[in-house]
A and B are shown apart, each in its own frame.
Chain A
Amino acid sequence: MRFRALILASSLSLIPCVASAEVPNLEALIKKGGQAILEYSDKAANPYTDRTFIVQMRLEGGNDDGRKLKMKMISKHGTRTAIRFQEPSDLKGLALVIKGASEIYVKLPGTRKVRRVASHARKQGFQGTDWSMDDLRLLHLAPSFDATIKEVTNTHVILNLIKKPKADLPYSRIIAHLPKAHLVPERMEYFDEEGTKIKVQQRSNMQKNKAGRMSYVSNKMTDLIRNHSTYLEVLEESHERVPDRTFSKRWLVRGS
């Protein structure tokens, strides 16, 4: 039994923002090397500590064929996430608080009980979704990867990210395409231990948010092995302070 919607939901916090429209002194960063660019990119992609989204997901491929999910997602520091499903009707009322793969609190509709779940499955996203719990840890790439510059084009800096020896991730390598304008990854290609490209994440539709910052509002993750895609679209976004108690059973039961 694979609870893929939990994993799908947890991936929402990966939707990046862009700190500023222009990168100060790109040439100097390029001279410093890939790792410096990656560290800058991590910061640029995660300018807010608190974020509240309403997101729509669409699943394509296999039996899904356009299945849609809509949910409200609240995150803090990129480490804690609270989610409440709005669509489809079967999932309306499902609420989750995710503090990591080992600490997920679930409240199912039709009941008030809250259950703590720890997920230690080997291939969580395998066959069920295009995202995995491992992807959650990729909000910041620099701690897990050693980056070198693969190519610099007129528009992009392309980084080759090699997994650090101690990083416990299913990807041996990622190729990240960073637009020179803001250095927040626009395209990520994921490779497994055997060197096979297994996933591609494509971000698009950059729009100015309420705070005046640019942000990708569309995201497509494709699992190349299963020929399955997950589309994310941000419908609403705010960055107001989120109280700590949001990530609690109280929030799950009472909604506040």
Chain B
Amino acid sequence: MNSTSTDSGTGTHKKSSIEKWAFEIGRFASRHSIAVLGVILFITLALTPYLTVIEYDDDILKFLPDNSPEVERFEEIGNRFQGLSIALVGIEVTQGDLFSIERLSALRELTEGLRQVEGVAFSSSITELQDVSVEESEFGEEMAVVSDLVGELPSPDSAEDTAAIMSTLRSRVLSRSHIRGALISEAGNAALILCYLDADVRLKDAADGIRAQTEKILGSLGNPFKVHYGGSPFVGSYIVHNTRRDVVRLSLLSGIAIIMILFATARSFGGALIALASVGIGIVWVIGLMGLLGQPLTLVSSSLPMLLLALGSAYSIHILVRVFKHLDDGAKTREEAVQQAVQEVGPPIFIAGLTSALAFWSFLAMDIEPMRRFGVWMFVGTMVIVVLALLVVPAACALVPLRVQAGGRTPRWALQAMTGTARAVVNHPFAAAISLVAVVSLSVWFVGDGKRYMTMRDFFLEGSEPVLAEDFLESQLGGSVFMQIQVKGDIKDPLVLRQIDRIAAVAGSQLGVTSIQSIVEPMVIASEALHGDSRIPTAIETTRAIASLTDGDPNLRVIVDPKWEHALIHVKVKGEHVSSALALLKLYDGPVGDDLRGGRVGVLREALTPELSNFEIEEVKKHLMRIYERAGEVRVDPAALHLALTKLPPNRDAASLLPEIEEQLRTIIEEDELIYLEEGKSIAEFAKAISKLIVDKERPFGTESLMPLAMEVASREDREDPEGLKESVAYIAELLGDNLNKGISLYREKELAKLLPEDKRSVYSGTLGRAAGVLLDPYASLPAKLTQGIPESGIMGRASVDFDVTGSPVVYEGMNTSVQRNQEVSLMISSVLVLLALGWFFKSIVLALIAAVPAGFTLLVTFGLMGFLGIPMDVGTSMMTSIAIGIGIDYAVHFLWHHGVPTRERADAVLVESMNATGWGIVINALEVAVGFALLALGTIVPMRNVGILTASAMLVSAVATLVLLPALTRWITPFLRRRTSV
């Protein structure tokens, strides 16, 4: 122990090697002050240029654990589908709506212009979409018209009735339920441009580029829109820019505040400057070294200067306070005062620095690479600052004239307050213990109450740009958070496409999911256009052909990979419901997921057993229930659902079918010339025979049963070409069969829609019809495990489906889990390391444990405060463990080093002496750093504010715990320690 407390319980003081070493440093620095300061200044100047070259790495994904399956999946899928990062440019019309030539032209120009931005793989908005509508041709036949949703816009000075054109366009666009509310608001006054970013792009750069391009294009058009920037790239960019701005602005404020407090408490402007300069030089060295070695600053390590200031300023202040004390006590020379001071406080400074550094060294056990690097740099930084404090402060104090102040610098009231409180605790152990237990209990009560999951809003203040953008996107366009489900399988296979539809339905039924985008929608649209059926086609040849025909469409590249082996379902979620949407992960890992993944077999209806038919119906019912849930209708009566799903339209006889069939045959024979009729044969006669065949229960309707009827009416030319005629007959059979099925399908669709409230029917009836329609397909899709007994002749096809979930919420969830895990590992390792270091330093495990009490107490109170304030454990706040340990140990070591374990008789005198010698230094340091960090609460990024508030509170709690608890603890353990010593 220190020579000033030689009567401590540990025995007679003998100068330790650390003290000798500290004394030599102090002597060297004070005797060669100019040389020491010169060398340090030289190194500082040499490293200063590297401050400007330091890179900034804003990739938040790097904060995910090594070999994390979430990250690997996210990156793998990102590479496969042109990146999963989607920048959202929301545009808002403040007066009127989007439907004017100028505004739509501007939207188109902006959408196309954003593709020119480096890093943007693809951009899309309503102006880029194609649309399929069914119209009647000039011959009265049904015709699919493929056109642009918005189409060519007339010029503003066009003679056309532009108002009427815009009105029609408005109705058309807003009638598309898959677009309304997702790409354009319900009122048509807001729209979204989706910018899909390249997988390897720097998100911040791409976001900045998009913003600049948007401002340039819209500026040239007279700024027709209010623009909102949303999505993870813009959020990341905002964080980076504002963190930098805050660090510069608040560092300046903190610096001024710290100088003022130092000046007020140490009562020496020169001393305040020396203390601050010592830390400042250390920060320049560390950041300069990082720049020199090409180490980038990350979201976490950008806080390194502030943290070093918080932890490092204590060292120089302790030396300074001690130097002042010796000067004020009448040291002959400054050199003598400095040497004495360094000899006294050098050892605790060294051990305090070492323990703080070790707390950060424990980061090496983390599985997050930037956190490990941060730990190493904090270790290096802390030790550099310790060394600089031991060199710069003595050298500067020896060189700079410091004013002597009679009576010391600790204000009398402060000394009385400190000693009074400590005495009170010693003298009233019961009351003190109750208070301590109360604080500890309260802290324990709140520990873990912090938010489990951080949403985007948790990063920003109300009214900030990202929050306003989020509000806009949530209220007008369904949100800005995306999750993705990757499906593996032969995506061209109808069996797989059906499963994708069902997987998407499960996602759609989750709370907060506002829109779903998958390959099923374009496949259905294409089927409607090329096949006349707005469902997933049943034949694999058809789906393959559609896939091949549409291949190359850039819109598809974000939902299916070029080989059609993986498909992506994009799930848009409202930010406030992200945690609910994350329940999908558990849902898909459970029985729901088991039902959806695995082998699927297409079994022809004629080969189905009653059990398998029932199973198919039950699966379809589950699918339908998901759609009802998505529509907000969760209380559908199962019996009513079953009835609506299996009900057949009223039976029709041959006579009622005849007119319809005759009309269709007239088109087939007269216009399409599928069959040339024999002279004397009539279409009416043929139609009559067909209508009888359709209602005949004995003979199944199909090519085989229809062929003899066709042979009776066909011309000789056709009869002589039986293969050709058979094709025509098969065509007629398929067309009429399809029409009959369409009738049933539409009937059931209406029945199923009736189970919904009236206002939801038009939105969901098509989806319900599509899900129910599979029961009319020529085959049933069933799990492979149920079809083992089916003969091969009854099998139509086989497929296999697997899927997994990714997206930024999943990744952040992985990050949260990782932060928690790393936090625990780091806490455990740092505790052991710190205790070992303290045990070595104090040569007593009991004293080591006592020295650790303020740190443990601070840690507990800090975590309790986090819970109380609802502050989540994130990458930023996870540093609090090391900060709390570092600060707590620092104060405790200084105090205990001076105070020791005095005899009962000398205890009070030692207390006063220790408070006078170190207490005030601890208070000065706690105040200046607490105020400095509290200023971070003025920052714009909430996690930074949280770190500021928590660090400030940790400083104060740690100081109070040290000054109040340690004297009592040393008093209470004296008998025990004596016994130990006597042994």
Contact = CB atoms under 8 A, between A and B. Distances in A.
Contact of B541 (A63, A93, A127): A93
B548 A113 contact: no
Given A106-B530, A116-B141, A4 B545 contact: no
Contact of B137 (A1, A116, A249): A116
A239 B962 CA distance: 102
Contacts of B144: 115-118
Interface of A (DSSP majority class): loop
Given A108-B542, A248-B673, A249-B674, A121 B734 contact: no
B550 A1 contact: yes
B770 to A, nearest CB: 17
A240 interface: no
Contacts of B49: none
Nearest to A91: B548
Interface in B558-604: 562
A3 B552 CA distance: 9
Contact of B554 (A94, A111, A115, A127): A127
A64 interface: yes
Contact of A90 (B547, B554, B738): B547
Nearest to A62: B552
B152 A122 contact: yes
A32 interface: no
A109 interface: yes
Contacts of B531: 108, 111, 113, 115
B143 A253 contact: no
A169 B280 CA distance: 69
Q: How large is the interface on B (under 10, 10 to 19, 20 to 34, 35 or more residues)?
A: 35 or more
A108 B530 contact: yes
A227 interface: no
A109 B550 CA distance: 15
A6 interface: yes
A128 B542 contact: no
Contacts of A116: 137, 141-144
A90 B548 contact: yes
B738 A113 contact: yes
B404 interface: no
Nearest to B141: A116
A250 interface: yes
A89 B731 CA distance: 22
B530 A3 contact: yes
Contacts of A89: 544
Q: How large is the interface on A (under 10, 10 to 19, 20 to 34, 35 or more residues)?
A: 35 or more
Contacts of A114: 672, 731
A171 to B, nearest CB: 16
B146 A256 contact: no
Contacts of B611: none
A88 interface: yes
A59 B724 CA distance: 34
Contacts of B348: none
B530 A117 contact: yes
A5 B549 contact: yes
B526 interface: yes
**Which of B145, B556, B735 is the most central at the interface, judged by chain A CB atoms within 10 Å of its CB?**
B145
Interface string A234-256: 00000000000100111001111
Contacts of B511: none
A150 interface: no
Contacts of B553: 1-2, 4, 127-128
Contact of B552 (A63, A88, A90, A112): A63
Interface in A86-114: 88-91, 93-94, 103, 106, 108-114
A119 interface: yes
A229 interface: no
A59 B562 CA distance: 14
A253 B547 CA distance: 21
Given A128-B552, A253-B731, A3 B545 contact: no
Given A116-B142, A120-B147, A111 B734 contact: yes
A35 interface: no
A69 B721 CA distance: 30
B730 interface: yes
B522 interface: yes
Contacts of B548: 5, 88, 90-91
A3 B549 contact: yes
A1 B734 contact: no
A250 B668 CA distance: 9
**Which of A2, A91, A106, A109 is the most central at the interface, judged by chain B CB atoms within 10 Å of its CB?**
A2
**Which of B130, B548, B724 is the most central at the interface, judged by chain A CB atoms within 10 Å of its CB?**
B548
Contact of B557 (A1, A6, A63): A63
A112 B145 CA distance: 20
A201 interface: no
A46 interface: no
B546 interface: yes
A6 B546 CA distance: 11
Interface string B99-134: 000000000000000000000000000000010100
A129 interface: yes
B539 interface: yes
Given A109-B541, A115-B531, A1 B525 contact: yes
Interface in A40-86: 59, 62-64
Contacts of A255: 724, 727
B295 interface: no
Contact of B529 (A63, A117, A123): A117
Nearest to A129: B552
Contacts of A93: 541, 545
A88 B548 CA distance: 9
A248 B139 CA distance: 14
A74 B149 CA distance: 32
B517 to A, nearest CB: 13
A101 to B, nearest CB: 10
B540 interface: yes
A254 B724 contact: yes
Contacts of A64: 552
Contact of A250 (B151, B532, B672): B672
A182 B672 CA distance: 42
B146 A63 contact: no
Given A110-B542, A121-B130, A115 B532 contact: yes
B334 interface: no
A119 B544 CA distance: 21
A176 to B, nearest CB: 27
Contacts of B730: 112
14 contacts: A3-B146, A90-B547, A91-B545, A93-B545, A108-B537, A110-B537, A111-B542, A113-B531, A113-B734, A113-B738, A116-B137, A116-B141, A250-B672, A254-B728
Closest 4 CB pairs of A and B: A110-B539, A110-B541, A110-B542, A120-B147
Given A112-B734, A117-B529, A253-B674, 17 more contacts: A1-B526, A2-B552, A3-B529, A4-B551, A4-B552, A5-B548, A64-B552, A90-B545, A93-B545, A94-B549, A108-B530, A108-B542, A110-B542, A113-B731, A115-B144, A117-B145, A253-B731
